[in-house]
Structure 1
Amino acid sequence: MTAKLPAFDDIVADFEFIDEWDEKYRYIIDLGKNLEPLTDEERNEANKVRGCASQVWLVFEGEGDDVRFRGDSDASIVKGLVALMVSLFSGKAKGEVTATDAEARLAEIDLAEHITPQRSNGVASMIKRIKAEAAA
């Protein structure tokens, strides 16, 4: 499902070797290209994330204690941000997801300092939705 995406710790390590933020943006966009595509049926109102300026969909699947999801966006940079969320949260136990300090993890790549306030709000909305699904 998300085998094409590197682990979040590997993304953090990759960021340490990239000097310029233009290159980091390209890397984030490339991560988004590795997301498993959603079907047209999955791009629906129920899967849409509220609070994102771009359209974002998250599809939660699986049973048991693991949180697994796929996502997509109509904007390439936001699709990359979705990929960061998938890498950070997907495949983890529900308790681990709800306990994860996503803002602190994203601070490891200095993300908040380099995306617009609208995109930061969208990331916060994705995190809120993912944690709500894990807590349900």
Structure 2
Amino acid sequence: MSIFPEIPFGKTIDSENVMQIMADKTTWEDRYRQLILWGKQIPALPDEFRRDDVTVKGCESVVWLVSEQHNDIWQFYADSDARIVKGLIAVVLAAVNGKTTEQVVAFDINSYFEQLHLLQHLSPSRGNGLKAIVDTIYEEIKK
């Protein structure tokens, strides 16, 4: 049983769903709105998990990332003080939640981002922040 709030990303919304939904969005504004909607589906991380030791380094916005592993299946929970960042977090969580270490490592996250046509529309600081979130996840699963 998880001590974290229930989230749909990695369960009912996975990377395939994200790619299908984003493929239907023809403009950056539509994609941006979708990211905001997904971000709203991430419940706020409880205050006891909003600590400096779980803050993602390298993000301009504040991002907290915590994880748990049960039977080799990972669940990541994250929150941010920025709406668009929460949407980007949702896209990442859809790709990594509910997966084994091997599945997370094998997943080509860069290709995933390219297929979503996100990176070219993000500011350099947002792109670096997204990379920092992914790097933090990889560091966590290799502990």
TM more than 0.5: yes
Instruction: Assess if the C-alpha contact under 8 Å between 2:8 and 2:41 holds in 1.
Output: no
Task: Give the alignment partner of residue 42 of structure 2, picking from 23, 35, 45.
Answer: 35
Please state if 1:56 is matched with 2:43. no
**Equivalence for 2:87:** 80
Partner residue in 2 for 1:112 = 119
- Cα deviation per residue 1:5-26 (whole Å; 9 max; x = unaligned)? 6211111111111111111101
Corresponding position of 1:3: 8
Alignment partners' CA distance in 1, 2:106 and 2:17 = 20
| Residue type of the alignment partner of 1:2 | I
Q: 2:116 is paired with a residue of what secondary structure?
A: coil
* Matched pairs, number: 136
Report the 3-state secondary structure (helix = DSSP H, G, I; strand = E; otherwise coil) of the residue aligned with 1:61.
strand
What is the root-mean-square deviation of aligned Cα atoms in Å?
Answer: 1.3
User: What percentage of residue pairs aligned between the two structures are identical?
Assistant: 32
TM superposition shift of 1:69: 1.0
- Alpha-carbon shift at residue 36 of structure 1 (Å): 2.6
Q: Is the 8 A contact 1:95 1:134 kept in 2?
A: no
Query: Cα distance, 1:78 vs. partner?
Result: 0.5
Query: Unaligned stretches of 5+ in structure 1?
Result: none
The CA deviation at 1:99 is 2.1
Quick one: which amino acid aligns to residue 132 of structure 2?
Answer: S
Q: Which runs of 4 or more aligned residues in structure 1 lie more than 2 Å from their structure 2 counterparts after TM superposition?
A: 1-5
* Distance (Å, rounded) in 1 between the aligned partners of 2:68 and 2:128: 24
TM-score (norm 2): 0.90
Matched-pair contact (CA < 8 Å) for 1:98–1:135: no
Letter in 2 for 1:85: V
